[in-house]
Amino acid sequence: MSHSNRQSVLVLGGSRGIGAAIVRRFAGDGAQVTFTYASSAAPALELAKETGSTALQLDSADRQALTSAIEGLGAIDVLVINAGIFVAGDPLELDADAIDKLFTININAPYHAAVSAARQMPDGGRIILIGSTNADRVPMQGMAAYGASKAALSGMVKGLARDFGARGITVNVVQPGPTDTDMNPADGPLNELMHSFMAIKRHASSDEIAGMVAWLAGSEAGLVTGAALTIDGGFGA
Ligand code: NDP
- Indicate which CATH number applies to the domain containing 81: 3.40.50.720
Asked casually if ipTM beats, i.e. exceeds, 0.95, the reply is: yes
**Neighbouring residues of 194: CB distance < 8 A, sequence distance ≥ 6:** 177, 178, 235
What is the residue range of 71's domain?
8-231
Please give the number of the atom of ligand 1 that sits closest to the Cα of 105. Answer: 18
Provide the percentage of residues in the chain whose pLDDT is more than 90. Answer: 98
- When pLDDT is averaged across residues 132-155 and rounded to a whole number, the result is 98
Against a cut of 0.90, is the pTM above it?
Answer: yes
Q: Is the pLDDT of residue 4 over 80?
A: no
Nearest residue CA, atom 39 of ligand 1?
A: 179
**pLDDT score, position 2:** 43
Q: How far is CA 219 from CA 24, 196, 205, in A?
A: 19, 36, 24
Closest C-alpha to 176, from 130, 110, 137, 141: 130
**Structural domain contains residue 1:** no
The DSSP result for 194-230, as a single string, is HHHT-SS-SPBPHHHHHHHHHHHHSGGGTT--S-EEE
Residue pair 76/125 in contact (Cβ under 8 Å)? The answer is yes
162, HSE (Cβ side, Cα atoms, 13 Å): 5
**Structural domain contains residue 237:** no
Mean pLDDT value across the chain: 97
Q: How far is CA 98 from CA 19, 61, 151, 184, in A?
A: 22, 12, 18, 19
**Structural domain contains residue 3:** no
Measured in Å, residue 166 CA sits from the centre of ligand 1 at: 31
Nearest residue CA, atom 34 of ligand 1?
A: 84
Q: Which residues partner with 74 through β-bridges?
A: none
- When pLDDT is averaged across residues 22-26 and rounded to a whole number, the result is 98
**Structural domain contains residue 198:** yes
Measured in Å, residue 161 CA sits from the centre of ligand 1 at: 24
Closest C-alpha to 149, from 118, 183, 115, 173: 173
Q: Is the pLDDT of residue 133 over 90?
A: yes
Residue 90 has phi, psi (to 5 degrees) of -60, 120
State how many domains the chain has: 1
**Structural domain contains residue 2:** no
- When pLDDT is averaged across residues 152-172 and rounded to a whole number, the result is 98
**pLDDT score, position 5:** 78
- When pLDDT is averaged across residues 115-119 and rounded to a whole number, the result is 98
Cα 215 from Cα 193, distance rounded (Å): 31
The helix/strand/coil state of 80 is: strand
Residue to mutate (ligand 1; options 16, 140, 203, 208; most atoms within 8 A of CB): 16
**Structural domain contains residue 167:** yes
Measured in Å, residue 175 CA sits from the centre of ligand 1 at: 13
List the catalytic residues: 146
Measured in Å, residue 7 CA sits from the centre of ligand 1 at: 23
Q: Is the pLDDT of residue 164 over 60?
A: yes
Which residues sit with their C-beta closer than 6 Å to ligand 1? 13-19, 36-40, 59-61, 82-86, 105, 130, 132, 176, 178-179, 181-184
Q: Is the pLDDT of residue 3 over 60?
A: no
Cα 133 from Cα 147, distance rounded (Å): 9
- When pLDDT is averaged across residues 144-166 and rounded to a whole number, the result is 98
**Structural domain contains residue 196:** yes
> What does the pLDDT look like over 49-89, one tens digit per residue?
999 999 999 999 999 999 999 999 999 999 999 999 999 99
Provide the percentage of residues in the chain whose pLDDT is more than 70. Answer: 98
**Structural domain contains residue 144:** yes
Nearest residue CA, atom 36 of ligand 1?
A: 132
